Structure 1
Amino acid sequence: MAMPQVSACLIVKNEATNLQRCLASVQPVVDEIVVVDTGSTDDTVAIARQFTEKLYTLPWRDDFAAARNYSLDQASGEWILVLDADEVLVCLSDTSLREQLAAAPSVQAYQLLRREIGTGEQFSDFAIVRLFRNLPTLRYQGRFHEQLVSSGSAPITIGSLTTFRIDHYGYQPAQIQAKMRDRNIPILERIRASEGLSLSLLFALADMYNAVNNPSAAEDCFNELFERLFPHLLSGQLPPEVPGSLPEILHQLGRRLLAAEEHEALQLLCQQSLIWFPTYPPLNHLAGCWLMALGFPLGATAYFEYCLEMGRTNRYSKQMPFPLDYVGERAAQQLALAYQALQETERSRYYTELAQSLKS
């Protein structure tokens, strides 16, 4: 059986700090590496040349999908693995990637779990499509937070690849703020002015405004998000295009409603959100906190217990990363408070001790 060839594709700019680690991790796994530089002024290009001759330059035009697709056009492999410079490919098995791809001829794309590293807070792994066949019908779409889409008549056949994982190291806080302030926010505001923002991009913009200490601009974005989602909460119909970030969008909107004591709107949001996303722990935690605020600690315990159960069984949504203490310490702390309110001293003490053990 002929083994399929695999191309790794990256777009980079000023990634001298991260790039060598990334390329060293992927070099033993793939047949070629394609690097597209969009205007580096540091040693990024020199580092890339140590690993590949397929190095290209593309002027940056505020369009991540265009840069991604240009990199795909340079790939000769039958499969494409897409990575960012601040990521590392981790092999979890002795079986080669080529052997696994050859064993599943009907699959067009694979999800890999991505893990956040060195953030100071533990986050859940989440599934992301990064490995797919080199087909002209599979290309990226979206100037920001680009997504792989198919121009064919049939949906993409997606499998899960558990023998590899992507570790995401990210950037230092000062670097992140600079990228948001100088690049990302201006791009998103230009898109907003010209064509409007999708739910996911509007949420990303809100998050960035918070990160650069502009809470009023963030609040404007969250207000628009709620106005656009409220009709769907009333009807029970999901938006036509459901972004992967929708569970966390709803969670963040719910936290704001809880802080403002908007209980009627929060009841609607909690009920409908948990119909749509029943295994997203932060939404269960939100429902428990809402019942606690209303003075119903007994009802709240069911939601916090479910959070702990999802943590014990690892049966929670991998659609969106979230802080793991929602299925650990944070849930146990809330259970301790709930049982304290119910005057069940022994149970309260048990969950207090559990929270301490989960923290350590």
Structure 2
Amino acid sequence: METGIGVVVIGRNEGMRLERCLASLAKGADQVVYVDSGSTDGSVQRARSHGVEVLALDMSIPFTAARARNEGFACLLQLCPNLRHVQFVDGDCEVVAGWLASAQAFLDGHPEVAVVCGRRRERFPERSIYNHLCDLEWDTPVGEAKACGGDALMRVEAFRDVSGYRPGLIAGEEPELCVRLRARGWKIWRLDAEMTLHDAAMTRFSQWWRRCIRGGYAFAEGAYLHGYPPSGIGSANRCAPGSGAWASRW
């Protein structure tokens, strides 16, 4: 039975994490597109073995997650032009059973909402303090929010309304998208529902430090693009994981 939902998965060298991600999407969506950014670990072959559409990015063009999601969205709509909703998910995440249906039901009942997201959890929070900190960050307030992260179900109409992600952003593309959505009158919502399991695999301080640098850069570029409160970056609830702690200020 057609659901009207398509999924865009992005990743690079995710290994078994991609296997879990694609297996979790075996039901509930009409079409899945995997966007690969130069993997060398057999991810493309792994994705094809699941029967999903694979889009290998042209790596002569600078890669960003925003660009990958936009190109995946375009591919998805070429394959299934009548889709109503698209779930974006990172390849290191497993989508929880029932999430797609519950998120879609919320959008169907709330036409003013463009984006819904739920609780992302770390798969192994006990393995390092950095994984644990990520898990705490993912525990965002329930209700109307100002931003979403990399995992979210979006209304196709709304995504098109703002021309998708800003492809040149190297980080912070999700809150930046949400600033433009809210400017167009759309709402962002965090549901009290399990959404994804994320495997950060972060065991070293250097990994955490690089993440912090990216977060700081994203905050600075977001401020440059959209300014400070009330229209741009300010004290606000973030909706979903993937944005980093800086997103709490969008």
TM-score, normalised relative to structure 2: 0.65
Q: Which has the larger radius of gyration?
A: 1
Partners of 1:110 and 1:159 within 8 A in 2: yes
Distance 1:161 1:3 in 2: 24
Instruction: Give the CA deviation at 1:172.
Output: 4.4
> How many pairs were matched up?
207
Partners of 1:19 and 1:85 within 8 A in 2: yes
**What is the match of residue 153 of structure 2?**
131
Distance 1:178 1:46 in 2: 30
- 1:21 aligned counterpart, secondary structure: helix
Partners of 2:3 and 2:29 within 8 A in 1: no
1:81 has 2:87 as partner = yes
Q: Render the CA deviation track for 1:54-78: whole Å, top value 9, x for unaligned.
A: 1111123132211211111112321
Matches within 5 A, 1:23-62: 23-60=22-59, 61-62=62-63
Gaps of 5+ in 1: 203-227, 229-236, 244-275, 278-316, 322-360
- Which of 138, 149, 155 aligns to 2:185? It is 155
Distance 1:34 1:94 in 2: 16
Q: Render the CA deviation track for 1:95-133: whole Å, top value 9, x for unaligned.
A: 655545433344322122222231325433126351111
Q: Render the CA deviation track for 1:300-338: whole Å, top value 9, x for unaligned.
A: xxxxxxxxxxxxxxxxx66688xxxxxxxxxxxxxxxxx
Distance 1:171 1:201 in 2: 27
Q: 1:53 to 1:90 in 2, by over 3 A?
A: closer
- 1:114 aligned counterpart, secondary structure: strand
Matches within 5 A, 1:241-260: 241-242=232-233
- 2:113 aligned counterpart, secondary structure: coil
Q: 1:41 to 1:175 in 2, by over 3 A?
A: farther
Q: Render the CA deviation track for 1:192-241: whole Å, top value 9, x for unaligned.
A: 9xxxx453579xxxxxxxxxxxxxxxxxxxxxxxxx9xxxxxxxx85863
- Which of 196, 199, 208 aligns to 2:219? It is 199
Instruction: Give the CA deviation at 1:5.
Output: 0.8
Tell me the amino acid that sits aligned with residue 144 of structure 1: A
Q: 1:96 to 1:319 in 2, by over 3 A?
A: closer
Tell me the amino acid that sits aligned with residue 18 of structure 2: L
Question: For the aligned residues, what is the CA RMSD?
Answer: 4.0
- 1:23 aligned counterpart, secondary structure: helix
- 2:39 aligned counterpart, secondary structure: coil
Partners of 1:34 and 1:52 within 8 A in 2: no
Distance 2:113 2:46 in 1: 34
Tell me the amino acid that sits aligned with residue 161 of structure 1: L
- Which of 136, 157, 170 aligns to 2:200? It is 170
Distance 1:146 1:43 in 2: 27
1:90 has 2:96 as partner = yes
1:111 has 2:117 as partner = yes
Q: 1:179 to 1:43 in 2, by over 3 A?
A: farther
Matches within 5 A, 1:233-248: 238=229, 241-242=232-233
Matches within 5 A, 1:222-301: 238=229, 241-242=232-233
Distance 1:320 1:131 in 2: 11
**What is the match of residue 303 of structure 1?**
none
Partners of 2:172 and 2:218 within 8 A in 1: no
1:14 has 2:13 as partner = yes
With 106-115 and 172-181 compared, the bigger mean Cα shift is at: 172-181
Report the structure, 1 or 2, having the larger helix content: 1
Q: Calculate percent identity across the aligned residue pairs.
A: 24
Distance 2:46 2:105 in 1: 29
Q: 1:92 to 1:163 in 2, by over 3 A?
A: farther
Gaps of 5+ in 2: 142-147, 242-250
**Structure with the greater relative contact order (CA < 8 A, sep ≥ 6): 1 or 2?**
2
